[in-house]
Amino acid sequence: MTRRLTHASPPCMPDEVDPVQARDVARWRRAERVRLAALRDSLGQAGRARVSDRIAAHLAPVLADRGAGQGAVLSGYWPIKGEPDLRPLMTDLHRAGVTLALPVVETRAAPLVFRRWVPGMKLVRGDWNIPVPPPEAEALTPTITLAPCLGWDDAQFRLGWGGGYFDRTLAVIAPRPLTIGIALAAARLPTIFPQPHDIALDLILTEDGVAATRPDARPDSRTHR
């Protein structure tokens, strides 16, 4: 059965959005991004490496329990700006038969494209100068996606860098993959003040383990190629 999207509120027309409230939320989010990025920077290289190792140790059994075995397509991410580095775990998963992909911004302000990634593949520079698979790499539909979070809340809403690409993608991708937010425990917020376009993730995982989840969160069982 295809899982339903969890929007912050029912879809609404642009003229139904309170422009003052939207502006205030945007201003607050900009300030929180600065604060949370500084929090991550304060860990230092060694601290971030320890956090990455702890997250990977928790993530491996979570993925196994939720169907990340042979035949699964896992979209990871290439870490930037101090994000947890899960590439060693992804390499292990590749060796175990999991098909890997990385998200690619091919069109500005449009949904992401997921292209096959093999550890050691020669990558090209994409949006934000992030390394991505080349255009000739196979496009895939992931069964599971990992989404790095600057901030998160208990309702599984994610605060990212503000591009909106992940929400745009979840709004249209079918079948929807299991979505796992990767975050610092200290980046928890009482709320991100979700807006109508925000879509909740299925699970938030930190260096302390699973922090927030829907009990039935699993990949869609249909074919994902």
Sheet architecture: strand order including 99-104: 113-116, 99-104, 73-75, 144-148, 178-182, 203-206, 209-213
Question: Would you list the domain boundaries of the chain?
Answer: 17-213
Q: Out of 3.40.630.10, 3.20.20.80, 3.40.50.10420, 3.30.379.10, select the CATH number for domain 17-213.
A: 3.40.50.10420
Residue 94 backbone phi and psi in degrees, to 5: -60, -45
> Model pTM?
0.88
Residue 36 has pLDDT above 80, yes or no: yes
Could you report the per-residue pLDDT of 195-204, keeping only the tens digit for each? Answer: 999 999 999 9
DSSP tally for the chain: helices H, then strands E? 4, 11
Token pair for 170: 């979840």
Could you report the per-residue pLDDT of 38-69, keeping only the tens digit for each? Answer: 999 999 999 999 999 999 999 999 999 988 77
Phi-psi bin for 164: left (phi > 0), alpha (psi -120 to 50), beta? left
Phi-psi bin for 206: left (phi > 0), alpha (psi -120 to 50), beta? beta
